[in-house]
């Protein structure tokens, strides 16, 4: 800016000098220069030549409502209007600030719609609560089960007579993470009792007859977790023996199963044709072939109906149980792994097509011997994403690799959190947990290869900080679908129909005439859309740019009757202001120079003409130049002031001919 001003300054001076030179030389170049100069002047020329003029002109001609009134009435009103205008301008600025801030906060408004429409039937995942058939995994769990029986015996009836039975036990599993009894009868000095303390050497102090005097009140069962070759040990306490033995068993079973290849595990679990006895979708019969099988570490083989991975998703266009999915399942309760699961039933989850079923977290149970009817309402939420809400469209901007992408499933926050946990597990314990998928090149934890893993895992599992980092790293996905279920149950099959239903089902499954099924093992499921099957919540930007502009306009209009053009006007005036300042500064510096130059002469006082010249704005003479080319003689050139000149034609004095409509200067003034 400053530079620019300076440059203009230079051109001004230059122009002036050249002009004088041209006068001497004369010729065609003079006209061009003159024209240029004129243009320059026109550019410089604002509506006035002093600040006051400018202001008055602005107030009079602006389109905003307030300023006009400032100048047209008496002093009191003038002051009032001046204050009012200032106040309104301040108000406008304030409100604009609010609006712009509101706009930048990226708020959303939601629209909600409820109704019925033809929709894709949800994907239905069905698992058995027990992951494996006991008859098929017995050989793997044999040692563990024997040990478990012995443990239970020890806890419940600590009689030494059973000691001989323990001889045959495989203590390699036991020694790794043993269960201990902690005698807290003396709260200040708890005694740790090993359950099989008398049979083998153990690091803890053991009394000869453990548990003899122990019951639930005095003793607590705890799990000893050791790392670094048994040098660092912690006890994981439980308030009840039930939990302790179950946790212990699950930990050991995990260790065993993690060493078995996936294909064998799949073969040991419940196959689709055994689990699904009957299937009907709407009026169409379906079978286990319509289900996609995946292996879930907790629940074994899970079967997904209508996953939409290979073929198109099935739509359902009618509400009511008749048009939904009807299933009869056989959970085979008698073949459950006794210590692994204590709950019997089918596990069930409704989820979106192409999404991974997190059945442990979100699934529900269906009880055997009952008919469970599930009315579904699809609760869908669609969000706008950044910058409106913190969510991710497809998970590509989340810093954690999705381990569940093997199945080609979509991103979900559960997948992210589980992947994050596995990530931490591998980093801390250098092996992957059996319950979560493995990243490439890693191995599942087991006692042989990673002796410290149980210690490490139980440490990580109760670590709250770890979970919070995962939660902070993972973003929820923008499109979220929940299936709201209305669950009701009735006894099935009824007493009267039980006989024939079981007969038919047995015949179909085993081709036997006898009943091979029992009501303890069969589950009936009806899944259907409710009368209103969707509720969609959709986000839209609450404040868009149109909203912002119209509100800015509204505010400006309301307080001052202004528009964008008024702003431009104002900007113009500011430019003029700057321009006047520049001109004044130039004149001032010029006069300073002159004064300094004159100081050398010292003797004659400055003439009036010189004074006048000092105050004259050199930039502006050409106003009259067109009328009288002779005035091209510049004050610089003027040799000596001529005394007795005719009275000056001061512009201001032209007031007198006011009664005649004055128009000659009009064009220049504006």
Partner 1 sequence: MAPGEKIKAKIKKNLPVTGPQAPTIKELMRWYCLNTNTHGCRRIVVSRGRLRRLLWILFTLTAVALIFWQCALLVISFYTVSVSIKIHFQKLDFPAVTICNINPYKYSAVRDLLADLEQETRGALKTLYGFSEIKSRKRRDAESWSSVWEGTRPKFLNLVPLLAFKEGEMGKARDFLTGRKRKVSGSIIRKESDVMNVHESKEVVGFQLCSNDTSNCAVYTFSSGVNAIQEWYKLHYMNIMAQVSLEKKINMSYSAEELLVTCFFDGVSCDARNFTLFHHPMYGNCYTFNNRQNETILSTSMGGSEYGLQVILHINEEEYNPFLVSSTGAKVIIHRQDEYPFVEDVGTEIETAMATSIGMHLDGKQRWNLLLPPNGLQTALTSYTESFKLSEPYSQCTEDGSDVPVENIYKAAYSLKICLHSCFQTKMVEKCGCAQYSQPLPPAANYCNYQQHPNWMYCYYQLHQAFVREELGCQSVCREACSFKEWTLTTSLAQWPSEVSEKWLLSVLTWDQGLQIKKKLNKTDLAKLLIFYKDLNQRSIMENPANSIEMLLSNFGGQLGLWMSCSIVCIIEIVEVFFIDSLSIIARQQWQKAKQWWAQRQAPPCPEAPPSPQGQDNPVLDIDDDLPTFTSALHLPPAPGTQVPGTPPPKYNTLRLERAFSNQLTDTQVPAEF
Pick out residues in 27-56 that bind partner 1 (CB under 8 A).
47-50, 52-53, 56
* Residue 484 in the binding site for partner 1 (CB under 8 A): yes
**Contact window for partner 1 (CB under 8 A) among 201-209, 259-267, 282-290, 479-487:** 479-487
CB of 326 to partner 1, least distance (A): 18
CB atoms within 10 A of CB 74: 8
Phi, psi (rounded to 5 degrees) for 74: -65, 175
Q: Which residues in 370-399 contact partner 1 (CB under 8 A)?
A: 370, 372, 381, 383, 389, 391
Q: Which residues in 411-440 contact partner 1 (CB under 8 A)?
A: 413-414, 417
Q: Which of 619, 620, 608 minimizes the C-alpha distance to 645?
A: 608
CB atoms within 10 A of CB 575: 11
Among 20, 259, 482, 507, binds partner 1 (CB under 8 A): 482
C-beta separation of 141 from 130 below 8 A: no
* Residue 504 in the binding site for partner 1 (CB under 8 A): no
CB of 241 to partner 1, least distance (A): 5
* SS3 call for 432: strand
The residue among 76 and 427 lying less far from partner 1, judged by its C-beta, is: 76
* Residue 16 in the binding site for partner 1 (CB under 8 A): no
Phi, psi (rounded to 5 degrees) for 376: -115, 135
Among 268, 366, 454, 586, binds partner 1 (CB under 8 A): 366
CB of 375 to partner 1, least distance (A): 12
**Contact window for partner 1 (CB under 8 A) among 160-168, 173-181, 251-259, 338-346:** 338-346
Among 13, 135, 205, 242, binds partner 1 (CB under 8 A): 242
Gap between the Cα atoms of 351 and 413, Å rounded: 14
CA 37 to chain centre: 61
The β-bridge relationship of strands 364-366 and 370-382 is unpaired
Q: Which residues in 155-174 contact partner 1 (CB under 8 A)?
A: 155-156
C-beta separation of 116 from 319 below 8 A: yes
Q: Which residues in 644-663 contact partner 1 (CB under 8 A)?
A: 644-656, 658-659, 661-663
Q: How far apart are the first and last CA of the chain?
A: 26
CB of 393 to partner 1, least distance (A): 15
Question: Which residues lie closer than 8 Å to 485 by C-beta, 6 or more apart?
Answer: 350, 364, 374, 375, 376, 377
Q: Which residues in 621-640 contact partner 1 (CB under 8 A)?
A: 621, 623-624, 638
The residue among 245 and 505 lying less far from partner 1, judged by its C-beta, is: 245
CB of 461 to partner 1, least distance (A): 6
C-beta separation of 309 from 297 below 8 A: no
Kindly write out the interface string for residues 522-551 of this chain, putting x where it contacts partner 1 by CB under 8 A and - elsewhere.
---------------x-x--x-------xx
Give how many residues touch partner 1 by CB under 8 A.
146
Among 562, 573, 576, 586, binds partner 1 (CB under 8 A): 562
The residue among 8 and 383 lying less far from partner 1, judged by its C-beta, is: 383
Gap between the Cα atoms of 295 and 435, Å rounded: 11
**Contact window for partner 1 (CB under 8 A) among 59-67, 506-514, 525-533, 595-603:** 59-67
CB of 511 to partner 1, least distance (A): 25
Among 146, 184, 362, 386, binds partner 1 (CB under 8 A): 362
Kindly write out the interface string for residues 206-235 of this chain, putting x where it contacts partner 1 by CB under 8 A and - elsewhere.
---------xxx------------------
C-beta separation of 340 from 497 below 8 A: no
CB of 662 to partner 1, least distance (A): 6
Gap between the Cα atoms of 419 and 437, Å rounded: 8
CA 299 to chain centre: 32
C-beta separation of 70 from 88 below 8 A: no
Element (H, E) at 112: strand 108-115
Kindly write out the interface string for residues 79-118 of this chain, putting x where it contacts partner 1 by CB under 8 A and - elsewhere.
-----x---x------x--xx-xx--x-xxxx-x------
CB atoms within 10 A of CB 411: 23
In the block, which residue shows the tokens 């700057």?
Answer: 578
CB of 122 to partner 1, least distance (A): 14
Using only the alpha carbons of the chain, give its radius of gyration: 47
Counted residue by residue, the chain has a size of 670
CA distances to 100, 344, 486, 541, 566 from 547, in Å: 10, 58, 41, 10, 20
C-beta separation of 319 from 528 below 8 A: yes
Gap between the Cα atoms of 653 and 48, Å rounded: 17
Among 257, 270, 291, 559, binds partner 1 (CB under 8 A): 559
Give the orientation angle of helix 564-601 with respect to helix 51-61, to 10 degrees: 170
In the block, which residue shows the tokens 């081709």?
Answer: 511
Among 16, 41, 65, 354, binds partner 1 (CB under 8 A): 65
CB of 104 to partner 1, least distance (A): 9
b/e string for 578-588 if b means 16 or more Cβ within 10 A?
A: ebbebbeebbe
* Residue 241 in the binding site for partner 1 (CB under 8 A): yes
Q: Which residues in 113-142 contact partner 1 (CB under 8 A)?
A: 129-130, 134
The residue among 507 and 591 lying less far from partner 1, judged by its C-beta, is: 591
CB of 266 to partner 1, least distance (A): 22
The residue among 186 and 217 lying less far from partner 1, judged by its C-beta, is: 217
Q: Which residues in 277-296 contact partner 1 (CB under 8 A)?
A: none
Gap between the Cα atoms of 528 and 321, Å rounded: 5
Gap between the Cα atoms of 662 and 53, Å rounded: 18
Among 17, 38, 262, 520, binds partner 1 (CB under 8 A): 520
* Residue 317 in the binding site for partner 1 (CB under 8 A): no
Kindly write out the interface string for residues 581-610 of this chain, putting x where it contacts partner 1 by CB under 8 A and - elsewhere.
---------------------------xx-
The residue among 167 and 666 lying less far from partner 1, judged by its C-beta, is: 666
* SS3 call for 356: coil
The residue among 581 and 638 lying less far from partner 1, judged by its C-beta, is: 638
């Amino acid at each position: 800016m400053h530079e620019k001003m300076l440059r203009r300054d230079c051109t001004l001076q230059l122009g002036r000098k050249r002009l004088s030179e041209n006068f001497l030389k004369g010729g065609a170049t003079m006209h061009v220069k003159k024209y240029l100069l004129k243009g320059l002047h026109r550019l410089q020329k604002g509506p006035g030549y002093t600040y006051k003029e400018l202001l008055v002109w602005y107030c009079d001609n602006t389109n905003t409502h307030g300023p006009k009134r400032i100048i047209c009435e008496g002093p009191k009103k003038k002051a009032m209007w001046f204050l009012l205008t200032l106040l309104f301008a301040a108000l406008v600025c304030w409100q604009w600030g609010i609006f712009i801030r509101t706009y930048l906060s990226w708020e959303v408004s939601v629209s909600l719609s409820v109704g019925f429409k033809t929709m894709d039937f949800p994907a239905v995942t069905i698992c058995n609560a027990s992951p494996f058939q006991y008859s098929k995994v017995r050989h793997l769990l044999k040692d563990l089960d024997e040990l478990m029986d012995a443990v239970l015996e020890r806890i419940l009836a600590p009689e030494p007579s059973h000691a001989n039975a323990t001889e045959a036990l495989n203590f390699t599993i036991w020694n790794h993470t043993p269960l201990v009894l902690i005698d807290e009868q003396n709260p200040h000095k708890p005694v740790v009792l090993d359950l099989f303390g008398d049979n083998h050497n153990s690091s803890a102090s053991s009394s000869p007859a453990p548990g003899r005097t122990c019951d639930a009140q005095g003793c607590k069962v705890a799990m000893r977790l050791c790392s670094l070759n048994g040098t660092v040990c912690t006890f994981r306490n439980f308030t009840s023996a039930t939990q302790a033995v179950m946790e212990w068993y699950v930990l050991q079973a995990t260790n065993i199963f993690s060493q078995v290849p996936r294909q064998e595990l799949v073969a040991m679990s419940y196959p689709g044709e055994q689990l699904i006895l009957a299937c009907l979708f709407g009026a169409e019969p379906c079978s286990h072939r319509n289900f996609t099988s995946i292996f879930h570490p907790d629940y074994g083989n899970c079967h997904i109906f209508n996953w939409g991975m290979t073929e198109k998703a099935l739509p359902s266009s009618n509400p009511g149980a008749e048009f939904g999915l009807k299933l009869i399942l056989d959970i085979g309760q008698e073949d459950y792994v006794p210590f692994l699961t204590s709950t019997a039933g089918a596990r069930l989850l409704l989820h979106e097509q192409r999404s991974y079923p997190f059945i442990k977290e979100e699934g529900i149970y269906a009880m055997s011997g009952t008919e469970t009817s599930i009315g579904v309402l699809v609760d869908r939420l669609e969000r706008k994403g950044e910058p409106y809400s913190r969510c991710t469209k497809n998970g590509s901007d989340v810093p954690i690799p999705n381990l569940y992408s093997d199945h080609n499933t979509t991103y979900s926050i559960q997948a992210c959190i589980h992947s994050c946990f596995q990530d931490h597990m591998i980093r801390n314990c250098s092996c992957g947990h059996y319950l979560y998928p493995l990243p490439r090149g890693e191995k599942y934890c087991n006692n042989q290869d990673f002796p410290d893993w149980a210690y490490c895992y139980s440490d990580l599992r109760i670590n709250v900080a770890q979970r919070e980092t995962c939660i902070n790293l993972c973003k929820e996905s923008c499109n979220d679908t929940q299936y709201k279920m209305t669950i009701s149950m009735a006894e099935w099959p009824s007493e009267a129909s039980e006989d024939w239903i079981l007969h038919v089902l047995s015949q179909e499954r085993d081709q036997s005439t006898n009943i091979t099924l029992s009501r303890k093992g069969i589950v009936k499921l009806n899944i259907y859309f409710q009368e209103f099957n969707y509720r969609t919540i959709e986000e839209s930007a609450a404040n868009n740019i149109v909203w912002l502009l119209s509100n800015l306009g509204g505010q400006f209009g309301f307080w001052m009757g202004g528009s964008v053009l008024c702003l431009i006007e104002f900007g113009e005036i500011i430019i003029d202001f700057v321009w006047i300042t520049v001109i004044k500064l130039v004149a001032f510096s010029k006069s300073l120079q002159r004064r300094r130059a004159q100081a050398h002469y010292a003797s004659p006082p400055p003439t009036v003409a010189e004074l006048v010249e000092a105050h004259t704005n050199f930039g502006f003479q050409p106003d009259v130049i067109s009328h009288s080319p002779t005035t091209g003689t510049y004050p610089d050139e003027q040799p000596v002031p001529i005394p007795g000149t005719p009275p000056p034609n001061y512009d201001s004095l032209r007031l007198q001919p006011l009664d005649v409509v004055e128009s000659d200067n009009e064009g220049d003034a504006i």
